[in-house]
Chains A and B, each alone.
Chain A
């Protein structure tokens, strides 16, 4: 049963679809277990979009997809049947207006057009090893995988030869149920990029995943090219790896496109993943990203994020604790310098004892049309005794009518825990400004220094110094366009 068949039945609500006259196509999704009558509850807009994505996948890939990819597509298309487009009445999207995406004509990007760009050469500085993903498609010619330790696999799942790894990947791919955008990625992802770290293996240099969006449309056109990159990071027991995930696009011309990305991270016992995420998409783009993390006992997950681009940028973080004594550290910084929406929805679910988590979210809104949204949920369930969870969010509003909506929420059921949360929204502190002025530094320069230092608290947390420097200068340039770029530190 395919989406197109389903779509054709929509106006006639009651007839159950039949597949008698259509030969089964292997690239298509299989028959659903659920009764077709559920089609009534489907959102036609969603189904149309899903169909467009499916068609695009079918036309571009000829080979039969490997089992994990097939499984992913099955699960995703099934959930899309009953997932409507979110409205402002749904709590997770109460402050986030997605009409920009909904009202556009979403077009999947044709990979053929990106292959011809393999002669593009260097696309900015990169760390080694690195992967280049253009519009959702992995481009080997622009990737550089230097010496990786034995047993480590980095690449598309369709190129995976090892059966063991394939089995592990199958087990974990899409083990989590996200929202509409999660499922759309599942249907539209051309491939899954797998980063596999075997047991006890510590990967020294961080892996740089560079996501580029080259296909974009003008602000005035109603079409929106969509790309669905998907990554699965699977770190076995005792393994360690650093990931630097960077999204760039637009070339300064405010191109419009939609990056709908998903990264799943699975940490085995005692594993460690340090995840640096930098989003500097075009100011006309929509960027929706899911990061779903599954932590076994004693594992450590550290996320450091800086998000400055995108007209609509939404990051959903879900951390699921499946073992005790885990450590989770989330440090995020969002910057809106124009008519932008920066949204972070995070959810940390603790079901096991002695977990330690720290979350710091900072955002600066420097434009009267800018908006920042934060919903930080921490669930400390019955068995999560002796949890130590802390959350702090600070926002700086620098222009009149700049908006920030923060909703820190802790749901605590266990009774022997230490949890804290704090939120502050303010302008710069008067007495700090005065301290600068009393030393002869004028008010303007003082403001700039203090605003940058507000961001610096998160930027300092990036583990890699090259990343730190480049992000620091990115933020400096965005906050003060008149500044000549300083090369020295």
Chain B
């Protein structure tokens, strides 16, 4: 993934001030264009000495469900570098979604061992809000409805939280509208969508697209996509995948949780991990996908 599609061009987006977040603004087309970030120019992907830069390091992570104390994660090890796309696959009940939820700090789970380091910081010490503001984004498998709060208000609140953290002035509703309206094209949604309440009455495809819209608006360095393909038809999946691909840069990474190989055809992974029984049992490249397709999980498990 260090090799990236070469059509770079410098485009200073007038609508957004320089931000630390690495996801690109690509309002018109899906060919990636870099916005000038303050800290690092977009060409050199920060590999000064050739080695890929570490983004996330999970060591021996184990976790239980708070209510029942039932162990779900039993020693997960994973390393994600900048600019990489990782896929985590596995059977139902293997702990994939739990792993994602633990990464963002869901209160239903309690960590019983191991560590998570994110950009050199101890993630387990951080509250969910802090993790999000540090650049961690999770697209939920079943996004919850929030009647009474409109999409644009919600996005505005989240965006301003980031601006506050960076010491930048917050955007009022009208300015924010100017910033967010072009982003709707990325996810192929109409403007009136912004006035609807968050996920209220949304179909599965609309909810997933809403998640990606939030990703595009807020930006992230590590985007965790929890079963982004579940409940989507082929066209919706294509739209979502296109949007995700359009947001990739050499400085950010994606961790996809999925059951199906179909998604991997659209978003090409650097590494595929197979999770079984609360542990990652195999890591490989795209060739694993072919084995899975031919022989199923049995061929992989235990090896």
Shortest distance between the CB of B134 and any CB in chain A (Å): 9
- Chain B residue at minimum C-beta to C-beta distance from A489: B173
- Chain B residues closer than 8 Å to A450, beta-carbon distance: 146, 148-149
Query: Do A435 and B140 form a contact, CB below 8 Å, given A440-B132, A442-B161, A488-B172?
Result: yes
- Would you call A443 and B107 a contact (CB within 8 A)? no
Query: In the complex, are the beta carbons of A443 and B129 less than 8 A apart?
Result: yes
Give bound CA distance, A449 to B148, whole Å: 9
Set B104, B144, B148: member contacting A452, Cβ < 8 A: B148
Query: Contacts of A454 on B, CB cut-off 8 Å?
Result: 148
A431 contact set on B, CB distance < 8 A:
144
Residue B174 contacts which of A453, A456, A488 (CB distance < 8 angstroms)?
A: A488
Task: List, in ascending order, chain A residues with CB within 8 A of B209's CB.
Answer: none
Is B11 positioned at the interface, with any CB of A under 8 Å from its CB? Answer: no
Contact of A439 among B107, B174, B218 (CB under 8 A): B218
Q: Is A432 located at the chain interface by the 8 A CB criterion?
A: yes
Interface residue ranges of B133-174 to A (CB < 8 Å): 133, 138, 140, 143-149, 153-154, 157-158, 161-162, 165, 172-174
For B231, the chain A residues whose CB sits under 8 A away are none
- Asked if B214 is at the interface of the complex by the 8 Å CB criterion, the answer is yes
Q: Smallest Cβ distance from B275 to chain A, in angstroms?
A: 22
- Say if the beta carbon of A176 comes within 8 Å of chain B: no
Judged by a CB distance under 8 angstroms, whether B91 is at the interface is no
B residues near A438, Cβ cutoff 8 Å? 104-105, 128, 132, 138, 140
Asked if B106 is at the interface of the complex by the 8 Å CB criterion, the answer is yes
Tell whether B127 is near chain A: CB-to-CB under 8 Å: yes
Q: Is B104 a contact partner of A449 (Cβ separation < 8 A)?
A: no
Report Cα–Cα, A488/B149, bound state, in Å.
17
Which residues from chain B contact A457 at a C-beta distance below 8 Å? 147-148
Known contacts A440-B162, A445-B157: does B129 contact A435 (CB below 8 Å)?
A: no
Q: Enumerate 10 A-B pairs (CB-CB under 8 Å) in ascending A order.
A: A432-B144, A436-B154, A437-B129, A439-B154, A441-B158, A453-B149, A454-B148, A457-B147, A457-B148, A488-B174
Nearest chain A residue, comparing its CB with the CB of B148: A453
Bound complex: CA A453 to CA B157 (Å): 14
Q: Does A125 contact B (CB under 8 A)?
A: no
Question: A90 within 8 Å of B by Cβ?
Answer: no
Contact A434 B214 (CB under 8 A): no
Name the B residues within 8 Å of A437 (CB-CB).
Answer: 105, 127-129, 132
Residues 414-451 of A, flagged 1 when their CB comes within 8 A of B and 0 if not, give 00000000000000011110111111111101000110
List, in ascending order, chain B residues with CB within 8 A of A441's CB: 129, 157-158, 161
Q: Which residues of B contact A443 (CB under 8 A)?
A: 129
Do A435 and B214 contact each other (CB < 8 Å), given the known contacts A440-B132, A449-B157, A450-B149?
Answer: no
Given A449-B157, A488-B173, does the pair A440, B133 have CB atoms closer than 8 Å? Answer: yes
A398 CB to closest chain B CB (Å) equals: 16
Q: Once the chains bind, are B127 and A439 in contact (CB under 8 Å)?
A: no
What residues of A have a CB within 8 angstroms of the CB of B146 in the complex?
Answer: 432, 435, 450, 453
In the assembled complex, which residues on chain A have CB atoms less than 8 Å from the CB atom of B173? Answer: 488-489
B133 to A, closest residue via Cβ: A440
Inter-chain CA distance A321–B105, complex, in Å, is 54
Please indicate which of the listed interface residues B128, B162, B165, B218 has the most CB atoms of chain A within 10 Å of its own CB.
Answer: B128
- Bound form: Cα–Cα A489–B133 in Å: 27
With a cutoff of 8 Å between Cβ atoms, the chain B residues found around residue A456 in the complex are: 148
- B132 to chain A: which residues have CB within 8 Å? 437-440
In the assembled complex, the CB of B171 is this many whole angstroms from the nearest CB of chain A, namely 13
**Interface contact B214-A453, CB-CB below 8 Å:** no
Contact A434 B107 (CB under 8 A): yes
Residues of A within 8 A of B128 (CB): 434, 437-438
Write the nearest CB–CB distance from A395 to chain B, whole angstroms: 15
Expressed in whole angstroms, the Cα–Cα distance for A455 and B154 within the complex equals: 17
Chain A residue at smallest Cβ distance from B164: A440
**A440-B162, A441-B129, A443-B129 given as contacts; is B144 within 8 A of A435 (CB)?**
yes
Contact of A435 among B143, B161, B162 (CB under 8 A): B143
Chain A residue with minimal CB distance to B143? Answer: A435
Docked Cα-Cα span, A454 to B148, in Å, equals 7
Q: A438-B132, A439-B132 are in contact. List 14 more A-B contacts (CB 8 A).
A: A431-B144, A432-B144, A432-B145, A437-B105, A440-B133, A440-B158, A440-B162, A440-B165, A441-B157, A450-B148, A454-B148, A457-B147, A488-B172, A488-B174
In order of increasing CB-CB distance, the 5 nearest A-B pairs are: A453-B148, A440-B132, A437-B128, A456-B148, A439-B158
Task: List the A side residues contacting B153 at CB < 8 Å.
Answer: 449
Instruction: Identify which of residues 134-169 in chain A touch chain B, using a CB-to-CB cut-off of 8 Å.
Output: none
Provide the residues of chain A in CB contact with B147, threshold 8 Å. Answer: 453, 457
CA distance A94 to B187 in the complex (A): 56
Return A390 CB to nearest CB of chain B, in Å. 17
